[in-house]
Amino acid sequence: MTPSTHNAPGSQTSDIQLAELVKQASDGNRFAFEQLIDHHQGDIYRMIYYRIRARMDAEDLTQDVFIRAFRSISRLREPDRFRSWLFRIAINRVNDYLRKKKVRSIFKSADEKPDMQPEPSQTPEQPEALEQVLKEDFWRQIGRIARKLSKMEREVFMLRFLDNLNINEIAQTLKKSDSTVKTHLYRALAKFKKEKALRQFLQEGIT
Amino acid sequence: MSIHNQSKPHLEEDDILQAVIDDKDLSALQQQHLGECAQCRQRKAQLEQELARLGQLAERYAPKPQKRIVLAEQKIRSPLLNWRIAFSAAAVVAVVLVVWGTGLIQDQRQGSIGNLAQDMVEAERLMTQINALVENALPQVYLDIVGETGLNLDEDFLEFLIPTNESAARISAPAKKGSTSC
């Protein structure tokens, strides 16, 4: 079963309902927390996948994020910040993962680095060849611009335009002020504007 | 604002970026222009569309998760964590055993030392009794009857009463037949 997404049509849950679920989960209501999982799992999984590009590891990390959240949700004082709190846990887990991967890669020889290879096509429902080429090209372009951004620029850019968080949520997630987030976002957008190839790729999809 | 449209200047590229991030950060004049100028709105909308497309494609090209979240905590325990728990438990058991064993040995040592002291006291008491009997084998009752308690008998008197074999032989020797004395 594919988990629902945050903005999935027909499964909209109001902010008030979500806040109520968070309160119930804080009181130890497991069922309420499972509903929160259903609501946020897709967003958190994708957020992790965008950063590590390994499906199975992204699934494991997603599970880990929700288990950590379940353990510590009683300490969450503001239920309306649940989403940004969840993203913060996810970012920390991703950073841990990337750090460990970097350390492991030091001790591996060049021919023992399967993680560095692009993720192979996995299922019989894999897209057609053209779609596959476009997909690989897209991630290559994303990788190229990601390398040109500083760590903070990359993080705010991805949170804003790939993960669809608003400025306030990004600020809460990264524990920065709104103005700091906007400054980094502005710099990232300026670099994005110079990426002709990526912009052309995107414009072809729009027209 | 640098690009001019009739009387009002258009927004610069930086202002468009600013507007994409948060159009409330523009000055009142710039906001007014953005509201009125179709060209500037078009530039902003185009950039916003590109960024929205970026998010859509990322979602489209990300593989779908095939695993549902299970809240059972055992599932996330790595083998390393299990080893840590096992090692910790073993360490605790070892410490408990060492502490308990040390206490037991100390108890045994203390017990054996106590028994030894008691045996020595009893042996000493027994030796005292034996020595007393050696000095005088008669019980106190009989000593009171014969009225000999507290007598200080010297060795000559005792030799007279109970002669040794040597003195007995010396006394009896002159009585033998055919012997002469010098």
What ipTM goes with this model?
0.82
Quickly list H helices, chain B: 13-22, 28-36, 38-61, 79-135, 140-146, 155-161, 165-172
Q: Under 8 Å CB-to-CB from B120, ≥6 apart: which residues?
A: none
> Cβ(B69)–Cβ(A66) under 8 Å?
yes
Q: Is the full-model pTM beyond 0.90?
A: no
Sequence-distant (≥ 6) Cβ neighbours of residue A157 within 8 angstroms: A149, A184, A185, A188, A189, A192
Contacts of B14 (CB under 8 A, 6+ apart): A190
Residue A189 to residue B21, Cβ atoms within 8 A: yes
Q: Report how far residue B122's alpha carbon sits from residue B117's, in angstroms, rounded to the nearest whole number.
A: 9
Residues in chain B: 182
Over residues A28-49, the pLDDT tens digits come to: 899 999 999 999 999 999 999 9
3-state secondary structure A119-131: CCCCCCCCCCHHH
Q: How far is A110 from chain B (nearest CA, A)?
A: 26
Tell me whether residues A55 and B63 touch, CB distance under 8 A.
yes
- Residues with Cβ < 8 Å from A71, sequence gap 6 or more? B73
Å between A85 CA and nearest CA of chain B: 18
Give the distance, in angstroms, between the CA of residue A158 and the centroid of all CA atoms in the same chain. Answer: 8
A30 interface with B at CB cutoff 8 Å: yes
Residues of chain B contacting A139 with CB distance shorter than 8 Å = 61
A1 touches chain B (CB under 8 A): yes
**Interface test mutation site (partner A, options B18, B25, B56, B67, max chain A beta carbons within 10 A):** B67
Using CB atoms and an 8 Å cut-off, which of residues 81-140 of chain A contact chain B?
A: 119, 122, 134-135, 138-139
Q: Which residues contact A35 (CB under 8 A, 6 or more apart)?
A: A21
Alpha-carbon distance B43 to nearest alpha carbon in chain A (angstroms): 12
pLDDT tens, position by position, B143-173: 777 665 556 666 777 777 777 776 666 666 5
Chain A residue with minimal CA distance to B50?
Answer: A202
Per-residue pLDDT of chain A (207 residues; tens, 9 = 90+): 344 444 443 445 778 888 899 999 999 899 999 999 999 999 999 999 999 999 999 999 999 999 999 999 998 888 889 999 999 999 999 999 999 888 888 776 555 544 444 555 555 455 578 888 888 999 999 999 999 999 999 999 999 999 999 999 999 999 999 999 999 999 999 999 999 989 988 888 666
